[in-house]
Amino acid sequence: GIQVEQSPPDLILQEGANSTLRCNFSDSVNNLQWFHQNPWGQLINLFYIPSGTKQNGRLSATTVATERYSLLYISSSQTTDSGVYFCAVTGGSYIPTFGRGTSLIVHP
């Protein structure tokens, strides 16, 4: 199956800082999503982005499908951005595969 690697595994920021999270995948995909899991366990959809670039407020994402990676940018981070960010991809089998996540802590 498809391998998904996320980096960095852990990230600590001061409020107001910018960051970039990366998701590498081992094969072509037809679906890629970024999620934020909050401290209560809820997964929040951030982006559905199999290719191209999207922006939503302070967050943006870019997927370069031909080079098999996606980036999630967080600008002007806030304490409420803390949590775990997951990348999930779906390939030809339509079975979603999650990365191990990036754990983000934003200090005030």
Minimum distance from residue 90 beta carbon to other proteins (Å)? 5
DSSP bridge partners of 103: 10, 84
* Binding stretches for other proteins (CB under 8 A): 30-31, 33, 35, 40-43, 45, 48, 86, 88, 90, 94-101
Cα–Cα distance, 23 to 42 (Å, whole number): 20
Quote the least distance from Cβ 18 to other proteins, whole Å.
25
How many CB atoms neighbour CB 6 within 10 A? 21
Peptide bond into 8 cis (omega under 30): yes
Rank residues 47 and 77 by Cβ distance to other proteins and give the closer one.
47
Contact 33, 45 (CB under 8 A): yes
**Shortest Cβ 12–other proteins spacing (Å):** 16
Minimum CB distance to other proteins smaller for 41 or for 108: 41
